[in-house]
Amino acid sequence: MHGQDHIELSRRTLIGAAAFAGVFGAVLAAVPATANEAGVVTGPPPELKDLPRVKVDLVDPPFVHAHEQVATGGPKIVEFEMTIEEKPIVVDDYGTVVHAMTFNGTVPGPLMVVHEGDYVELTLINAETNSLQHNIDFHAATGALGGGGLTLINPGEKVVLRFKATRPGVFVYHCAPGGPMIPWHVVSGMNGAIMVLPRDGLKDGAGNPLPYDRVYYIGEQDFYVPRDADGNFKEYETSGDAYDDMLAVMRTLTPTHEVFNGAVGALTGENAMTAKVGERVLFLHSQANRDTRPHLIGGHGDYVWATGKFANAPEQDLETWLVPGGCAGAAVYTFLQPGIYAYVNHNLIEAVELGATAHFTVGGEWNDDLMTQVLPPTPIEL
């Protein structure tokens, strides 16, 4: 073994051992993290030199980067780059701070869009300023723990992963560095989603096209913030300092916060999503860890893929749909009335008390045929 190889191996072993063997109070678990542990041996990467390459600039949720709804031409290699950032974020109006682990600095990470048959080529960077190992597990990918076994990197390292998008739908991705680190990283915000569109676009159950005018990505996040003896949320200097206390809260399976896009109110008020009457809007909703029940108050799911898989016919006219934990769902709705719509997790305790509420502000003309106030509030006559 060459000296440089020995230095790099020792550094990786040291960081891995610290994470798994006691520095943060954790114990080894049987979930693998690396290619060797998962029994993976890859060959030389196929050149794919005849395929065009497209580089995509990702954008912060709830927005989605520009993309074709119907693919032109054949498969492509779609290049993405994400930088992992560990950083404190404020998650509510009381100033509660969480030491978040993020893809590209946001909770959730950015939504990626490709078409079935395309190749996703991701450059993943673990910034030198971080303190932990990280990787990425794509639920859309096949083999090597969703790519997690091939992407485990230390601070100051990068890795390039390529996989073929073979199944159309919306899929979660998340960090999965092995053992007890997996849930900790996921509930610290390290998750996002990728949409693999059919090459001929979305279709209703009868095979008719379903183009959309707008698309928004809502990432639902459960946080587990420890409290002090007086019931106040605690604040820690580092994520490692918080680990033991946070793990105790995690084991109750009861989140202290259940929020959309990283914080209470992140998608309300001035940050509300927008649309116009007559526009068809695609909602993409992920929850990497817990079941959720999206509901649009005053609207419906015209077409819904609750588990997000476009090879299946969508359900129609749903009031509420169930997105299982570790999954991403999709729904299409054409707004028919103007006003403010609340988009919630219809566990209303989580929506109202824990923060899982967003708003849509919709412009246009009111249709009295759909709804009207026949009698305004009036005193009851005895």
> What per-residue confidence (pLDDT) applies to 289?
98
Active site residues: 134, 137, 139, 174-175, 185, 190, 295, 319-320, 346
Give the pair of three-digit tokens for residue 171. 């899929």
Q: How far apart are the first and last CA of the chain?
A: 95
Q: Strand 339-345: give its sheet, edge to edge.
A: 273-276, 357-363, 339-345, 294-297
Residue 24 lies in a domain: no
The structure's pTM equals: 0.92
pLDDT, tens digit, 9 for 90 and up, residues 18-40 = 444 444 334 344 567 776 776 77
Three-state DSSP at 72 gives coil
> What per-residue confidence (pLDDT) applies to 38?
67
DSSP state for residue 143 in the 8-state scheme: S
Q: Which residues form the domain of 347?
A: 215-238+255-363
Q: What is the CATH number of the domain that holds 312?
A: 2.60.40.420
pLDDT at 355 over 90: yes
Residue 158 lies in a domain: no
Q: What is the mean pLDDT of the chain?
A: 93
Distance CA 294, CA 345 (A): 5
Name the band, by pLDDT with cuts 50, 70 and 90, for residue 264: very high
Residue 261 lies in a domain: yes
Q: Could you give the C-alpha distances from 10 to 20, 127, 152, 164, in angstroms and in order?
A: 15, 19, 15, 33
Residue 275 lies in a domain: yes
Average pLDDT rounded to a whole number, residues 215-231: 98
Residue 153 lies in a domain: no
Count Cβ atoms within 10 A of the Cβ of residue 24 and give its class: 0-12 exposed, 13-18 middle, 19 or more buried.
buried
Residue 264 lies in a domain: yes
Residue type, 332: V
- The total number of structural domains in the chain stands at 1
> What per-residue confidence (pLDDT) applies to 30?
55
Percent of the chain with pLDDT over 70: 91
> What per-residue confidence (pLDDT) applies to 41?
82
Residue 1 lies in a domain: no
Residue 166 lies in a domain: no
Do residues 285 and 331 make contact, with C-beta atoms less than 8 angstroms apart? yes
| CB atoms closer than 10 angstroms to residue 28 | 12
